């Protein structure tokens, strides 16, 4: 799969260099291994609805040593944080609404 940014090789090579440097800076081994950084990025893309990004980052994470199980667990964490936030937000809103209705 080719990079969606490939078009910038001709359109704006300087922008492409900046993006690539940012990716190298953020995703290279450090206190966290590259595979964990890719799993984090994948989970974030999943919460943003970026299916192509999820696929690309999952492939990169596997190339960096992540297992299918690690990918699935990272996505479970993303679901827990973002999926359940809907329930928590709705609960706060409805509690306030119903308390106000009870007082009127």
User: Which pLDDT belongs to residue 33?
Assistant: 98
Alpha helices in the chain (DSSP H): 8-11, 13-27, 34-48, 51-63, 68-78, 84-103
pTM of the predicted protein model: 0.80
Confidence of residue 61 (pLDDT cuts 50, 70, 90): very high
Confidence of residue 99 (pLDDT cuts 50, 70, 90): confident
User: Which pLDDT belongs to residue 77?
Assistant: 95
**DSSP state at residue 82:** I
Torsion of CA 12, 18, 23, 24, to 10 degrees: 120
Spell out the residues 6+ positions from residue 5 whose beta carbon is closer than 8 angstroms to its own: 16, 19
């Amino acid at each position: 799969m080719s990079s969606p940014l490939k078009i910038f090789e001709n359109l704006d090579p300087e922008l492409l260099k900046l993006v690539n440097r940012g990716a190298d800076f953020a995703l290279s081994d450090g206190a966290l291994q590259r595979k964990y950084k890719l799993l984090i990025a994948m989970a974030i893309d999943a919460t943003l609805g970026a299916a192509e990004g999820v696929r690309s980052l999952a492939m990169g994470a596997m190339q960096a040593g992540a297992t299918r199980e690690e990918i699935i667990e990272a996505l479970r964490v993303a679901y827990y944080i973002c999926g359940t936030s809907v329930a928590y937000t709705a609960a706060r809103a409805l509690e306030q609404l119903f308390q106000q209705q009870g007082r009127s």
